[in-house]
Amino acid sequence: MNVTVFGTGYVGLVQGTILAEVGHQVVCVDVDAEKIGKLEQGIIPIYEPGLETLVKENHAAGRLSFTTDAAMAVAHGDIQFIAVGTPPDEDGSADLQYVLKVAETIAEHMAAPRIIVNKSTVPVGTADRVRARVAEVLAARAGAEQEGEALTFDVVSNPEFLKEGSAVADCQKPDRIIIGTERDASVEVLRELYAPFNRNHDKVIVMDVRSAELTKYAANCMLATKISFMNEMANLAERLGADIEAVRQGIGSDPRIGYHFIYPGVGYGGSCFPKDVQALIRAADDIAYDAKVLKAVEARNATQKTTLLDKIHQHYKGELAGKTFALWGLAFKPNTDDMREAPSRVLMEALWEAGARVQAYDPEAMEEAQRLYGSRDDLTLCGTKETALKGADALVIVTEWQSFRAPDFTLIQQQLAEPTLFDGRNLFVPSRMASKGFTYYSVGRRPV
């Protein structure tokens, strides 16, 4: 099938590449000429495991191409994906200007019926706005041209459920395929499009457009709620003398709860959870509904991002000026270079404000950190995790990269001024850290 994807970010580039991988002819279009030029050369703008190889292979095979030519892209695809960003506006609501601009672009150039598929995460009712915008442009065109039959189109909600760091696998083996439309013909076209990913059992769930739009927000907000709830329990456990890791195993064994997203830590970040929780809160405010649970989730997460800083202040009795901290992990989660809303940023900026220095290392996010913060005297970006330790007063772990799970503890003790470790991801067992001679702070457990 011929497919066009507007947007070459995490969603558009991954979805377009995986559709090309199974044989569809895919054109990815973006307004950023520099990004398109790099993609043509096989240079990927994001870090996502497995993506680079697939982009290069499918581009070389002629199934995947990149362009800034919107007219060509609209002419190519019977199916037009909108996969552009919906950044938070100043009030927390989703900014739909890019989505609506793509809708206008499709309407300006379409010369045959099209199915417009909204892949971007958008508030309930966005499909109606896209449909109205397309109809408005088409009506203006018909009035000016005064010829030809009216062009038909459908606007479908088809939300993505990709996790950064495993987006390729999630796209290749989706656990569900949500199709929001009331047109049977559109359902059949999308069933054909997704047939290669729907062989073992039927993963397609058809519903009305507004329910599909809400499903995306509900899913992310539910996961964010689990994280914030577990962090709330961790804070209680710490004060009650309990061990949150034991509690986690105890509740995770209940199949109604499960083990996913109940790991305590320093809060969630990234491009999805913070933005989507805020957007749904704003949508609720717009209809005069007080979304108390969502507001509590957001408040708990904001506070949780300071939990390591609180422990550091307590340990050093608030005297942080002149201290140097080795920081392992800058990305908001492993297997990505994304630092949007990352807990590491909250921590580093607070340490700098207190007069401390940071020596940071992350396996993938070093260039992003350089882009965000540039050159500054109180930040040293190190080439290895070992280099970050040298001369530091303490080690702080913010992101649970695999390479941090079994470090050389003897080397850590030798390099640090004192064997002090603040673990924001509970990577180590407190009793073992005690036996190794560390002062050790974690989340939801008694300090050593």
Cα–chain center distance at 18: 18
Return all residues near 196 (Cβ < 8 A) that are at least 6 apart: 22, 23
Backbone angles phi, psi at 167, to 5 degrees: -65, -35
DSSP class per residue in 235-273 = HHHHHHT--HHHHHHHHHTSTTT-STT---SS---SSSH
Q: Tell me how far apart the alpha carbons of residues 142 and 124 are, in angstroms, rounded to a whole number.
A: 29
Quick check: 429 and 221 in contact, CB under 8 A? no
Is 28 one of the catalytic residues? no
- Select which of 28, 171, 272, 382 is catalytic: 272
**Number of Cβ atoms within 10 Å of the Cβ of 414:** 11
Element (H, E) at 205: strand 204-207
Read off the tokens for 238: 């710490």
CA 186 to chain centre: 28
* C-alpha closest to that of 178 among 143, 148, 204: 204
The catalytic residues are 272
